[in-house]
Amino acid sequence: MSRVPTYTAYDGADLAYRIVGAGLPLLVIPGGPARDAAYLGDLGALATILQRKLVVPDLRGTGASQPDSDPVTHHANRIAADVAGLADDQRLRPVDVLAHSAGANVALLLAEHRPDLVGRLILVTPGTRAVGLEATDNEWEEAVAERSAEPWYAGARAALEAEDPTPKQELESAAFFYGRWDEHARDHAASDPLQRNVAATGWFHDDAYDPERTRTAMRTLAAPVRILLGELDVWPTARGGAELAALFTDATVTTLPGAGHFPWVDDPVRYAEAVGLLLMS
């Protein structure tokens, strides 16, 4: 078995990463928060379809970067510093960055503190806490109700509202995050551990974010920002995507019809084609 490659982070920690494919590098930041990067799969065959070299870190506390258990080192701003260390180690300057879900918060903080590293920023169904954007109760309700015609809706809705959901209910409620709740989607959802380690507890700590400062920094970011939404995702909605885009001088929003929070699971080829177009725009 080949050894997992590692690099040395700002505090001396050895953190792992993997390389997929060959070509121009694309730095990929997983979400979760703190979900093992394996959930990304091949991201709709981005490496083969786009002929790009994916550089995918095992973020601190996940995958082969598990040992660190200090919650402070798992704050999103510290994770951004880890990712910057990987970019420096691999001499990726500047590099196109693709971030999914909660990983978008890390990408935004990376762009704030190390704008020299970011050539182009692709935010896929992005988390927006770093810039202080959140769904309203009405938006959440409308997004959930949008799926009311689905045969799984009643059970998934009950599971979503359970105060202390069972593992079965956790899986049922995941249906709202996929465009199609088929066997492939259920397998993907079931791969998410219900209890993550200490890494997950640190990502959203208040000390990790200063939304006003980050918003101010984004107004002067030179890198083009491309936001990819899923039509059926519960967040960000079209409003969330538009408000996020408005923070940048060069940003666009693309919505994939029929897709949820994991668009490469819903339609791998269409997802890869959409990302390819965004990387060229």
Average pLDDT over residues 170-195: 91
Contacts for 281 with CB less than 8 Å, ≥ 6 apart: 224, 226, 252
Average pLDDT over residues 19-24: 94
Residue spans of the domains in the chain: they are 6-136+195-280
Q: What is the pLDDT of residues 97-142, one digit of tens each?
A: 999 999 999 999 999 999 999 999 999 999 999 999 999 999 999 9
Which of the four pLDDT bands, split at 50, 70 and 90, describes residue 194?
low
Q: What is the mean pLDDT of the chain?
A: 93
For residue 27, the SS3 value is: strand
Average pLDDT over residues 195-223: 85
Fold of 6-136+195-280: Rossmann fold (3.40.50)
Average pLDDT over residues 245-259: 97
Average pLDDT over residues 150-175: 95
pLDDT at 210 over 50: yes
Query: Which pLDDT does position 68 carry in this prediction?
Result: 64
Burial of 170 per CB tally in 10 Å (0-12, 13-18, 19+): middle
Query: Which pLDDT does position 159 carry in this prediction?
Result: 96
Query: Which pLDDT does position 197 carry in this prediction?
Result: 64
Query: Which pLDDT does position 11 carry in this prediction?
Result: 92
* Cβ atoms of residues 101 and 261 within 8 Å: yes
Query: Which pLDDT does position 32 carry in this prediction?
Result: 87
pLDDT at 1 over 50: no
Query: Which pLDDT does position 67 carry in this prediction?
Result: 66
Percent of the chain with pLDDT over 90: 80
- Higher pLDDT: 196 or 98? It is 98
Query: Which pLDDT does position 200 carry in this prediction?
Result: 73
pLDDT at 195 over 60: no
- The 8-class DSSP code of residue 150 comes to S
- Neighbouring CB atoms inside 10 A of 206's CB total 7
Average pLDDT over residues 255-268: 96
Q: Are strands 118-124 and 52-57 parallel, antiparallel or unpaired?
A: unpaired
Window from 62-66, 90-94, 229-233, 234-238 with minimum mean pLDDT: 62-66
Percent of the chain with pLDDT over 70: 96
Query: Which pLDDT does position 193 carry in this prediction?
Result: 75
